[in-house]
A and B are shown apart, each in its own frame.
Chain A
Amino acid sequence: MELRADSFSGAASGFKPLMAARTLAWISTQRNCPVTNEELCGLVESIAARRDRDAFAQLFRHFAPRLKGFGMRRGTDAASSEELAQETMLTVWRKADTFDPRRATVSTWIFTIVRNKRIDLFRREGHPDAELSEATEAAYEGRAADDELTLAEWGSVLRQALTELPEDQVTVLKKAFFEDKSHSVIAEELGLPLGTVKSRIRLALARLRNALPEDCQ
């Protein structure tokens, strides 16, 4: 699948489709990349259906820098973070046919892959005799069941709700996602009582939940 130029929001109307692929590489390095979830879904579906290497390359250009950044934000060195990005993208290739666009956006799906990969690759070092990798991945995957979550359609609503959260709640969420820290460690680091961190998490999730329609809360 080829990304079309007119699907980038803000692209000039005279923008030639031929330029799109090359431009994507540039756009991908920008923050808040305006590639839509629909387009990303199309790439994953091309990989699943046709083992489409071009689609993979486009997806790679979009996500690999983010995945590396994700690893580095969590305190992993640059080389290992690159390995994390690579391993994650290889899993995307292998598991493309398990992606269900009704259940999650591509970014959310890839977030769950890099989360599991990170446990797989790095936490094992600290627990040499722990078979964390497969076991933990199974624990996460097994939770998926037949009910359809429609969250994927509400990405922009969720994003809006996220930007409207009070700063103290965002700080806690960001530490949770980017620094790989449990809520009790976050409390310690922020010098806050555990109860305060718990209530910030609860308030934040309640707000996010309330922003969504009832059937996907």
Chain B
Amino acid sequence: MIRHHPEDELIVDFATGALGEGPALVVATHAAMCGSCRARVALVEAVGGLMLEDLEGEPVSAGLLDETLAMLDEGEDAATVAAPVAATDDREQVPEPLLRYIGRGLSHLVWRRVPGFPAIEEARLPIAAGVKAVLMRLKSGAVVPEHSHRGNEYSVVLAGGFCDGATSYGRGDFLARDPSHTHRPAADNDGDCLCLIVLDAPLRLTGALGMIVNPFLRI
């Protein structure tokens, strides 16, 4: 059962389009697994629909309708050829919004072992500049060194689970961390944990191991 959801203001930023691609991907991936958050997004979108309906229109150029009518059949072919979605066996773990980011599938991604931490692997995803998006795989029982962030970190659990302090997180759970958080997540012992993590600013290491893991956690 999902217990951790995005706050309302993040849902609003997502539904209005104000959220950047990285955090939006995390919210969308969570919402794909969470019916109540899909309903929350739908509510804000419905408000957007009402605002659009009530909006004072701006008169459009006289020829715009005819010009648009003439364009109707142009893009038809292009539109029916949908962007190729990777053939993948990962659908159980990877919700729809994330599929297009993982190319041909999880096993085809470039997984990097973390120097000094054989229990942690990460694969970087292609995304907007200035953002880091990774899939992180923690072997059963693995511990991520204590760290905090200069910016915000958004994550969603795709498989397995982990504990951070007294709080446990499982599949579908959403986390947003701001710079005031210091955390030290530890994967559950009953299987690997796979998370999507988006960082919109560099990490700041706070633990004694900081120096060692620095190369791995750099952006």
Contacts and interface: CB of A to CB of B under 8 A. Distances in A.
Given A116-B17, A142-B32, A111 B49 contact: yes
A127 B197 CA distance: 21
Contact of A70 (B19, B52, B98): B52
Interface string B154-187: 0000000000000000000000000000000000
Most buried by B among A114, A129, A177, A205: A177
Contacts, number: 220
B48 A85 contact: no
Contact of B48 (A31, A72, A86, A177): A177
A180 B17 contact: yes
A213 B79 CA distance: 38
Nearest to B101: A135
B12 A201 contact: yes
B68 A89 contact: yes
Contact of A107 (B15, B50, B130): B50
Given A29-B57, A132-B128, A142-B28, A182 B19 contact: yes
| Range class of the A interface residue count | 35 or more
Contact of B58 (A68, A90, A162): A68
A136 B96 CA distance: 12
Pick the most buried of A82, A132, A135: most chain B CB atoms within 10 A of its CB: A135
Nearest to B96: A142
A4 interface: no
A64 B47 CA distance: 19
Nearest to A200: B9
A78 to B, nearest CB: 7
A209 B43 contact: yes
Contact of A198 (B9, B25, B46): B9
A119 interface: yes
A179 B125 CA distance: 30
B67 A86 contact: yes
Interface in B65-81: 65, 67-69, 71-72, 75-76, 79
Q: Which 8 A-B pairs have the closest CB atoms?
A: A65-B57, A108-B49, A142-B97, A142-B96, A130-B128, A107-B49, A111-B48, A139-B28
Interface of A: 28-29, 31-33, 53, 56-57, 60-61, 63-70, 72-73, 78, 81-82, 85-86, 89-90, 93-95, 103-112, 114-116, 118-119, 127, 129-132, 134-136, 138-145, 147, 149, 151, 155, 158-159, 162, 173-174, 176-178, 180-183, 185, 197-198, 201-202, 205, 208-209, 212, 216-217
15 contacts: A56-B72, A61-B65, A68-B57, A94-B75, A112-B45, A112-B48, A115-B15, A115-B48, A134-B83, A140-B97, A141-B96, A143-B96, A145-B32, A155-B46, A205-B11
